[in-house]
Structure 1
């Protein structure tokens, strides 16, 4: 069972002034970990560009603060760019190591799921880099994601071939009924 998030936890849309903290957390992930298969840390200008593309397209991009300190972030974006995928989003969630195991990832994901459902999206995909990331897979499973597939040796980083896990969770009516044609997204 996941721990309850701290009472001082605040979730809100990310703003430009959050990008330095987002960049610093992501830089550690790129350099040291396997959640992303990116090799080179993008500079702050590139992180700003990526954030702007996501929010300008209408996708949610959230920040968690705990006791006034940056604790992590999560966002959703297009799973694929082809038009037939426009009702499917891919999530990303990153938590500061000092805040691991405190329910912050769960809180961010619940808010992201709610926001994406309210926007009319029908499916959410978790693409989990490094098939041995048990914590991420357990978090997603507790939130209703089901294993959709494992791509063995799909990526390579830090001198290792890595599996990529994809998990899927329906949003709203999922793949039943007619979807809203006016969902936000990349155009």
Structure 2
């Protein structure tokens, strides 16, 4: 998958001020970059001035195992690369394990902290939605920290709607946090049954 400089909703193809971004399937060599992005966001959340150290971070081998497991299950696992450097990644996993839920996925998107608000999340989201729809999934779910306004706006721009608000379900950075659940349809959604 190569979606170099592909226009996302609200973004024109002719813009020349955007960096050259390549969105592609992840590889083992991308794991150190993905891990650094993940650890930064987990340790600091949406407030760059606060650091949380009360968790056991995954290591590179753990991320490699997860990535390979997703690839074996034909689940999208993408990276955004700029000048040879991983600046973001996105993936989808099953919403639930039972067969009745096999057409629904949940997703995550992470962008390097110094590249936020540069259109990378939009490019990853575009490619992830396309990949999930092409794989036959019908519903896409996301869980977002209620304080992460930028992520909520990104999802809203892609047609996600809020379907739940879970108050005080997380405790991090010294306080309780809420989670917003968002959802959008893929392909024909629920308008027709899946292919046999």
TM-score (ref. length: structure 2): 0.85
> Contact 1:155–1:162 (CA<8 Å) still a contact in 2?
yes
Find the residue that maps to 1:116 and give its secondary structure: helix
Question: Is residue 2:49 matched to residue 1:33?
Answer: no
Q: Any idea what the Cα deviations from partners look like across 1:67-106, whole Å, max 9, x if unmatched? A: 3222110011111112111101111100011211111100
CA apart distance, 1:56:
1.1
CA RMSD of aligned residues (A): 1.9
| Structure 1 residue runs without a partner (length 5+) | 182-187
Find the residue that maps to 1:47 and give its secondary structure: helix
> Contact 2:33–2:85 (CA<8 Å) still a contact in 1?
no
1:140 pairs with 155, 167, 170, which one? 155
CA apart distance, 1:137:
0.3
Mapped partners of 1:167, 1:95: distance in 2: 19
Mapped partners of 1:2, 1:164: distance in 2: 26
TM-score (ref. length: structure 1): 0.88
2:125 pairs with 87, 94, 109, which one? 109
Mapped partners of 1:153, 1:84: distance in 2: 29
Q: Partner residue of 1:152?
A: 167
CA apart distance, 1:2:
5.5
Runs of 4+ in 1 over 2 A off after TM superposition: 1-7
